[in-house]
Amino acid sequence: MRKTRPTLPDPPRFEGARPKFRAWLSEMKNKLRVDGKVIGSESDRFAYIYARLGGAPQQMTIAYVEAGGRGGNSDPEQYLQYLEECYGDPNAKARALDKLRSLRQKDNESFAALIPRFERELADSGGATWPEEVKISYLEGALSQELRLATVYAAPNRTTYAEWVQSLQRLSSGLESVGKRDATRSSGGTRDNRSRDSDGDTNMADVNRAGQRPKDHRKADATPKKERRCFRCGRTGHVIADCPAKVVFPDEVKKNRPATARVKQPETSDDSDSAATSSEDDEPMGKD
């Protein structure tokens, strides 16, 4: 039965951005492989590729399309190869291989998180077709020291790359489970030691001490009212505002006494002298 409906959607138009070319090329190859018969003949697929290009890529390849490709037979595979030569990254495999060599598992990274990163760099470097032992060797070099030492004692199966990955997943999962159990026991033991005494009973001394510490701290810092001393009379038990002694200091008098104008006294020096003389004359006469 002839297929009449496409299975995959049309790839988006490629506008010429190099970072997006690889994803677009993969979509186009999948489209031609799955729905090639629905699209039509090789010439139809050749024209379909041109139709899924944006303005700039069409202008760049229009001469190639008009000539029907290098051989003039409108081969869609050759057209995709030509586009890859124009927009692909020739150094992508070399960079991916460098990343693959330097890839290392982080201290707190699980093997389940490492393997997707490794698989991506392996595919980018063209390692999908490498021998099994080469891929196993690269993966072993990316493992953490803890997991690498565990493989020495556990000796997992490493006949093929897929079996090696499955063995590492099981081994890593076991190590993570043991680490979580040990951490739980350690934290639980610490809590029991703090909350129980030597007889196994709950120790309430620390709890009571912790609850009373803020009150004791406030009592130590606060000065009792009976120890407060009056700065006016020197007695304890009250402050200067409540002092019963009505002592007024000279400084306070000067500050509180209203200013008064000084009145000039009249000159009485002559009268006082005459009065003094007459009193002296009268005094002997009185005696006589």
The helix/strand/coil state of 97 is helix
Residue 167: which residues within 8 A CB-CB, separation 6 or more?
156, 157, 158
Helix (H) or strand (E) holding 178: helix 161-195
Please give the CATH number for the structural domain made up of 92-181. 1.10.1200
Q: Has residue 133 got a pLDDT over 70?
A: yes
SS3 40: coil
Q: What is the pLDDT of residues 23-79, one digit of tens each?
A: 999 999 999 999 999 999 999 999 999 999 999 999 999 999 999 998 889 999 999
Rg over alpha carbons for the chain, rounded to the nearest Å, is 52
What's the CA gap between 286 and 288, in Å, rounded?
A: 5
Structure tokens at 157: 């199966």
Q: Is the pLDDT of residue 215 over 80?
A: no
Of 3-17, 229-243, 249-263, least confident by mean pLDDT is 249-263
pLDDT at residue 65, as a whole number: 94
Measure the CA–CA gap between 201 and 182, rounded to whole angstroms.
Answer: 25
